[in-house]
């Protein structure tokens, strides 16, 4: 049986993914899955439903927003934080919790709390 908080990090840059893991570890997450494509993200979400999904909006091979839609269609909603260098990419989603790159631990902590509140 799984215990603790589990995060799915959708990120195609290894260094950025590891950085996210370190930030989320400080927020109490102790289990992580990584995905660099929409297909990998869906596979990982089906293996274990995440307590948080962080989504790099622009993946080298696909679209992080589409990856999130596929996940939620398969497992239901989960707290989600979209991470992007271009927050205008989510202007059509005013309810989306967005963290702009570069971000710090306090930025991610605030975003995670907001994502939890919206998903409650």
pLDDT digits (tens, 9 = 90+) for 2-30: 579 999 999 999 999 999 999 999 999 99
Domain annotation for the chain: domains and CATH numbers: 5-119 (3.40.50.2300)
pLDDT for 104 equals 92
Q: Is the pLDDT of residue 120 over 80?
A: no
pLDDT digits (tens, 9 = 90+) for 54-87: 999 988 888 899 999 999 999 999 999 999 988 8
pLDDT for 57 equals 92
Rounded CA-CA distance 70/110 in Å is 25
| Among 87, 82, 73, CA closest to 108 | 82
pLDDT for 17 equals 95
pLDDT for 2 equals 57
Which residues, other chains included, contact 105 with Cβ-Cβ below 8 Å and sequence gap of 6+? 23, 26, 27
Cα–Cα separations (whole angstroms), residue 101 to 32, 53, 67, 76: 21, 16, 19, 27
């Amino acid at each position: 049986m799984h215990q603790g908080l589990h995060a799915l990090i959708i990120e195609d840059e290894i260094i950025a993914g590891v950085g996210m893991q370190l930030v989320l570890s400080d927020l109490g997450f102790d289990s992580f899955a990584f995905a660099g494509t929409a297909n990998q993200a869906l596979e990982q979400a089906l293996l274990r439903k995440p307590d948080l999904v962080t989504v790099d909006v622009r993946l080298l091979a696909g679209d992080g927003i589409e990856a999130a839609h596929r996940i939620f269609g398969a497992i239901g909603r989960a707290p989600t934080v979209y991470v992007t260098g271009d927050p205008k990419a989510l202007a059509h989603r005013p309810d989306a919790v967005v963290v702009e790159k570069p971000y710090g631990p306090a930025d991610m902590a605030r975003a995670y709390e907001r994502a939890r509140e919206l998903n409650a």
